[in-house]
């Protein structure tokens, strides 16, 4: 076996966060603080991986964002034959020429200038980011010192291929047109736009290592940029990498620079604007898939005629826009880079299909005086999209006094059967009050396909413990139904433990049904707590006075290894989570979802334990001994040690070519076939993983005796 050594730096190597305070504020508002910090420290680097360096050198154009002399951000392009961007080393990007007429940053490419860069290969939907500061300038050659580098997923990128035009076709370029509002021609371009780029910045010293300029991509179906008037635009903000670089910058400084490309003529439309973030409200209903909106107040418009030396092939829209939401949600964020064009690109672009579908209410049932269940069926009697136990249903609620419906999400409270949905709603707020007062059998409602990541792991061999309080019972009863129904008759069923807390049994939904389930299924252990009950009063055997607590759970559970599922109010969640961790329950064995704005903070895992492998089995310890890893295509076997990090880092250190992008388990680009052995993950991954494959950017060899003895083999 060959050995290796490498001094390649791994991931974010600074003590400070890779995000500045305003980015972290945006992450908190969206409820993804811990996830973003963890992903950022894994995926954001202060150098460029070799794959990114090669990627930049292969592109005929690159998008940049920076500030003019007045501090106004602008997004702009440089374009030339591939190779005009190169990388002498992992921390330096060289840009040779490619300056286009009308560049609003002309004269600003000078030492000390902070630049955000975006390499985008539209035909394959790949993109990589780099942010840094100009170290030197020689004519049109700019040397950029890299401060941050990371990959982005392929979501929302429209596929089209650029082709250079003959020099004569661009010889009639006119002077740049500058206005303070949109012209009719500008409006026409924006009305048909499916792509734009946005520059923003935070150059304050307080931003620390996250200080700098940034440029990002935005994509949607034509019409996703709404023209409110000659000086106002509104655009949706879709689910992305959850870093919130752009919105964080805009919270710090609302100035933004937008760039629109006329793919037919080569015109470039630059817009300077002040941005306002619209986090929620009825207006979001106008933009399917939007999680929030950004409104831009235009301060300046510039148009460069025929500035871009390309013409482009016909567009193939991103699958998130041309496929039903239930199908698009099942796709990985990125497709293997071995495909020069995604198989989806061969599909004809279809008009935008709204993810909102009409359902009819077929029954309403009062569970308690404050809680009702609503049953939905499809309007055309076709099967409904399937869902995983624990997922939720987004619906639109038409509330009196509002010109737009409210969008609300309610957990599905019955196992999926494709014929009917059930949500169970406590009257608590405007949206739920409308449901209770107005929704009856025959009422129609708009809903999206079910979604959500808090789901039951059917493949786990461990007994499941479902713990909830109040209306937090809804995902738990769905998981319980699913776990019972999924049992195989020829196998010994694993025990299921159900804990729920309410003030009284009369305030507990499904109380009689839960007792009936426990009576019919001996392996279901039922523990129902009434916090207002008199401990001296006679109650059914399943009823317990008091509150659900770690002490009660410890007292009720036999000695074993469990998967815990938690849902309830914030204080309840925090107490249960921290209590279980205090009992040395592994962090990855505790899955939870809170309702409302609060988010329970996970405690650090020390030492880090491998938590999930490609077969949904948990690893127990980091290996202290080496594990042989065979790269089959490269015909090399190398000993992996825990200090070698992820399999992607290990492969790169060994000189093995491996595709990757986000490096944080979100995009799926690095998915690699596993020929022998098993792979484990230190943290949860977002991208779907095909059976027999693993995400090597997050994966490590599974630390058990069999893998240590027989090794791991990858198709690399």
Residue range 21-312 forms a domain whose CATH class is mainly beta
Residue listed under structure tokens 């825990």: 642
Residue 641 burial class via C-beta count within 10 angstroms: exposed 0-12, middle 13-18, buried 19 and up: middle
Distance between CA atoms of residues 51 and 143, nearest Å: 19
What 3-state class would DSSP assign to 555? Answer: helix
**Dihedral sign, Cα of residue 327, residue 329, residue 335, residue 340:** positive
pLDDT digits (tens, 9 = 90+) for 175-199: 789 999 999 999 999 999 999 999 9
**pLDDT at residue 360 tops 80:** yes
Q: Of 157-166, 213-222, 537-546, which one has max mean pLDDT? A: 213-222
Please measure the distance between the N-terminal and C-terminal CA atoms of the chain and give it in whole angstroms: 17
What single-letter DSSP state applies at residue 449? P
The residue extents of the domains of the chain are 21-312, 357-447, 464-594, 612-714
The chain-wide mean pLDDT, for the chain, equals: 83
Number of H helices, E strands in the chain: 14, 37
pLDDT higher at 383 or 323: 383
- Reported confidence tier of residue 530, pLDDT bands at 50, 70, 90: very high
User: Tokens standing for 386?
Assistant: 């399937």
Look at residue 620 in the predicted model and tell me its pLDDT.
32
**pLDDT at residue 480 tops 60:** yes
Look at residue 2 in the predicted model and tell me its pLDDT.
35
**Distance from chain centroid for Cα 315:** 25
Any residues with CB less than 8 A from the CB of 284 and at least 6 apart, and which?
236, 278, 290, 291, 292, 293, 407
Look at residue 352 in the predicted model and tell me its pLDDT.
42
Look at residue 317 in the predicted model and tell me its pLDDT.
85
User: Tokens standing for 709?
Assistant: 């003895």
pLDDT digits (tens, 9 = 90+) for 63-108: 999 999 999 999 999 999 999 999 999 999 999 999 999 999 998 9
CATH of region 612-714, choose from 3.30.1490.20, 3.30.70.20, 3.10.20.30, 3.50.50.60 = 3.10.20.30
pLDDT higher at 537 or 125: 125
Query: What is the average pLDDT across 464-489?
Result: 90
Look at residue 351 in the predicted model and tell me its pLDDT.
39
Look at residue 621 in the predicted model and tell me its pLDDT.
39
CB 631 within 8 A of CB 640: no
What single-letter DSSP state applies at residue 159? B
Q: Name the least confident of 100-109, 568-577, 622-631.
A: 622-631
Q: Name the least confident of 5-9, 236-240, 439-443.
A: 5-9
Look at residue 174 in the predicted model and tell me its pLDDT.
62
**pLDDT at residue 425 tops 80:** yes
**pLDDT at residue 242 tops 80:** yes
CATH architecture of 464-594: 3-Layer(aba) Sandwich (3.40)
Q: Are strands 226-229 and 212-219 parallel, antiparallel or unpaired?
A: unpaired
- Reported confidence tier of residue 332, pLDDT bands at 50, 70, 90: very low
Q: Name the least confident of 394-403, 431-440, 649-658.
A: 394-403
What 3-state class would DSSP assign to 631? Answer: strand
- The answer as to CATH 1.10.287.70 being correct for domain 357-447 is no
Query: What is the average pLDDT across 141-157?
Result: 89
Half-sphere exposure in the Cβ direction for 96 (13 Å, CA): 13
Count the neighbouring beta carbons within 10 Å of the beta carbon of residue 379: 11
What angle in degrees, to the nearest 10, is found between the helix axes of 21-30 and 33-43? 130
What single-letter DSSP state applies at residue 452? -
Q: Indicate whether this model's pTM tops 0.75.
A: no
**pLDDT at residue 20 tops 80:** yes
Return the percent helix, strand and coil in the chain, to nearest 5: 20, 35, 45
**pLDDT at residue 23 tops 50:** yes
Query: What is the average pLDDT across 22-33?
Result: 86
Q: Of 158-172, 516-530, 688-702, which one has max mean pLDDT? A: 516-530
pLDDT above 70 as % of the chain: 83
Give the residue from 209, 196, 267 showing the smallest Cα distance to 235: 196
User: Tokens standing for 491?
Assistant: 């196998």
pLDDT digits (tens, 9 = 90+) for 599-615: 566 665 433 333 334 33
Distance between CA atoms of residues 702 and 294, nearest Å: 44
pLDDT digits (tens, 9 = 90+) for 264-298: 999 999 999 999 999 877 788 788 788 899 999 99
Which contiguous run of DSSP H or E holds residue 187? Answer: helix 184-191
Query: What is the average pLDDT across 383-403?
Result: 82
- Reported confidence tier of residue 594, pLDDT bands at 50, 70, 90: low
CB 605 within 8 A of CB 534: no
């Amino acid at each position: 076996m060959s050995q290796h050594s490498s001094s390649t730096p791994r991931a974010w190597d600074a003590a400070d966060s890779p995000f500045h305070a305003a980015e972290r504020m945006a992450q908190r508002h969206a409820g993804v603080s811990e996830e973003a910090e963890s992903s950022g420290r894994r995926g954001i680097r202060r150098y460029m991986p070799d794959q990114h360096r090669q990627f930049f050198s292969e592109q005929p154009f690159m998008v940049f964002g920076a500030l003019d002399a007045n501090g106004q951000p602008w997004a702009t392009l440089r374009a030339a034959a591939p190779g005009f961007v190169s990388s002498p080393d992992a921390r330096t990007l060289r840009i040779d020429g490619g300056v286009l007429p009308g560049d609003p940053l002309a004269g600003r490419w000078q030492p000390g200038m902070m630049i955000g860069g975006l390499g985008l290969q539209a035909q394959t939907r790949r993109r990589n980011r780099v942010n840094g500061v100009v170290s030197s300038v020689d004519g049109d050659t700019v040397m950029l010192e890299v401060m941050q580098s990371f990959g982005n997923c392929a979501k929302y990128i429209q596929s089209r291929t650029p082709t250079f035009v003959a020099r004569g076709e661009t010889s009639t370029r006119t002077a740049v047109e500058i206005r303070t509002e949109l012209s009719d021609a500008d409006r026409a371009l924006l009305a048909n736009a499916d792509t734009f780029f946005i520059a923003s910045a935070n150059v304050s010293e307080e931003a620390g290592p996250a200080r700098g300029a940034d440029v990002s991509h935005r994509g949607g179906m034509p019409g996703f940029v709404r023209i409110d008037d000659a000086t106002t635009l509104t655009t949706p903000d879709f689910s992305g990498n959850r870093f919130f670089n752009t919105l964080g910058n805009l919270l710090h400084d609302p100035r933004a620079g937008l760039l629109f490309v006329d793919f037919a003529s080569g015109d470039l439309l630059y817009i300077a604007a002040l941005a306002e973030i619209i986090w929620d409200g009825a207006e979001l209903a106008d933009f399917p898939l939007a999680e929030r909106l950004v409104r831009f107040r235009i301060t300046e418009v510039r148009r460069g005629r025929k500035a871009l030396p390309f013409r482009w092939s016909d567009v193939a829209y991103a699958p998130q826009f041309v496929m039903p939401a239930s199908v698009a949600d099942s796709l990985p964020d990125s497709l293997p880079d071995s495909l020069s064009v995604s198989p989806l690109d061969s599909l004809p672009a279809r008009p935008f299909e709204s993810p909102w579908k009409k359902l009819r209410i077929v029954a309403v049932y009062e569970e308690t005086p404050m809680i009702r269940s609503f049953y939905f069926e499809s309007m055309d009697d076709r099967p409904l999209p399937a869902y995983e136990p624990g997922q939720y249903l987004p619906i639109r609620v038409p509330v009196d006094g509002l010109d737009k419906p409210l969008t609300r999400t309610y957990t599905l409270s019955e196992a999926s059967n494709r014929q009917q949905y059930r949500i169970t709603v406590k009257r608590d707020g405007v949206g739920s009050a409308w449901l209770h007062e107005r929704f009856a059998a025959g009422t129609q409602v708009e809903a999206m396909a079910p979604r959500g990541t808090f789901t039951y792991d059917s493949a786990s061999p461990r007994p499941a413990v479902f713990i909830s309080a109040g209306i937090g019972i809804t995902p738990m009863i769905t998981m319980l139904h699913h776990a019972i129904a999924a049992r195989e008759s020829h196998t010994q069923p694993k025990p299921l433990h159900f804990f729920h807390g309410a003030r009284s049994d009369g305030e507990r939904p499904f109380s009689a049904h839960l007792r009936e389930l426990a009576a019919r299924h001996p392996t279901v252990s039922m523990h129902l707590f009434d916090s207002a009950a008199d401990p001296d009063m006679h109650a059914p055997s399943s009823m317990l006075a008091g509150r659900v607590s770690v002490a009660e759970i410890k007292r009720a559970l036999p000695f074993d290894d469990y998967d815990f599922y938690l849902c309830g109010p914030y204080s309840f969640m925090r107490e249960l989570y921290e209590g279980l961790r205090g009992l040395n329950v592994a962090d990855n064995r505790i899955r939870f979802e809170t309702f409302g704005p609060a988010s329970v903070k996970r405690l650090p895992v020390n030492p880090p334990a491998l938590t999930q492998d490609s077969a949904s089995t948990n690893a127990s310890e980091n290996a202290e001994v080496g594990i042989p890893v065979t790269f089959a295509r490269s015909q090399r076997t190398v000993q992996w040690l825990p200090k070698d990090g992820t399999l992607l880092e290990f492969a790169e250190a060994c000189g093995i070519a491996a595709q990757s992008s986000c490096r944080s388990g979100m995009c799926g680009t690095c998915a690699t076939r596993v020929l022998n052995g098993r792979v484990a993950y230190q943290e949860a991954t977002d991208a779907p993983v095909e059976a027999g494959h693993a995400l090597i950017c997050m994966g490590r060899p599974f630390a058990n005796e069999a893998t240590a003895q027989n090794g791991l083999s990858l198709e690399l």
